[in-house]
């Protein structure tokens, strides 16, 4: 989105990298602060889910890009379409996350009278 809006790409990459690195340390501390001294987390389950959702698609994409020249040529020819698809997927992910929060809030309150501003 930064490149599409002619923003500062270097600053966006730096912000993303720093945010991801800080998140590794800040989120566990935040969880402990909110939930108490100990939290039961199934480490292996979390690791498997992260591998399935992050690492596997990343490896598949890298193999497709560098292992098959035909896929690389096709992707270069259809770069504009792939970019639109990527942006659409990102918007869909944000929409799904919002809907999930809204659904949980609705279920916990048992009322349909909440407005959109109260959901978030």
Q: What is the 3-state secondary structure (H, E, C) of 62-86?
A: HHHHHHCHHHHHHHHHCHHHHHHHH
What is the rounded average pLDDT of the residues 47-59?
A: 87
CA distance 22 to 51: 20
Report H helices in 7-78. Answer: 9-35, 43-50, 56-67, 69-77
Q: What is the pLDDT of residue 114?
A: 52
| Average pLDDT, rounded, for the chain | 83
What is the rounded average pLDDT of the residues 12-31?
A: 84
Q: Residue 6 pLDDT > 60, yes or no?
A: yes
CA distance 1 to 9: 9
Q: Residue 109 pLDDT > 50, yes or no?
A: yes
Q: What is the pLDDT of residue 110?
A: 62
Cα–Cα separations (whole angstroms), residue 72 to 79, 81, 84:
10, 14, 17
What is the rounded average pLDDT of the residues 26-36?
A: 80
Query: In whole angstroms, how large is the CA radius of gyration of the chain?
Result: 20
Task: Name, of 25-29, 69-73, 81-85, the range with top average pLDDT.
Answer: 81-85
């Amino acid at each position: 989105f930064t490149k599409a809006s002619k923003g500062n790409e270097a600053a966006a990459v730096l912000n993303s990298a720093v945010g991801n690195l800080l998140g590794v340390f800040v989120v566990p501390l935040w969880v402990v602060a909110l939930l108490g001294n100990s939290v039961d987390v199934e480490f292996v389950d979390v690791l498997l889910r992260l591998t399935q959702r992050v690492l596997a698609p990343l490896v598949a994409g890298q193999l497709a890009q560098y292992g098959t020249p035909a896929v690389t040529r096709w992707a270069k020819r259809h770069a504009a379409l792939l970019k639109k698809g990527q942006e659409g997927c990102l918007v869909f992910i944000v929409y799904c996350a919002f809907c999930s929060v809204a659904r949980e809030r609705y279920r916990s309150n048992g009322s349909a009278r909440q407005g959109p501003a109260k959901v978030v």
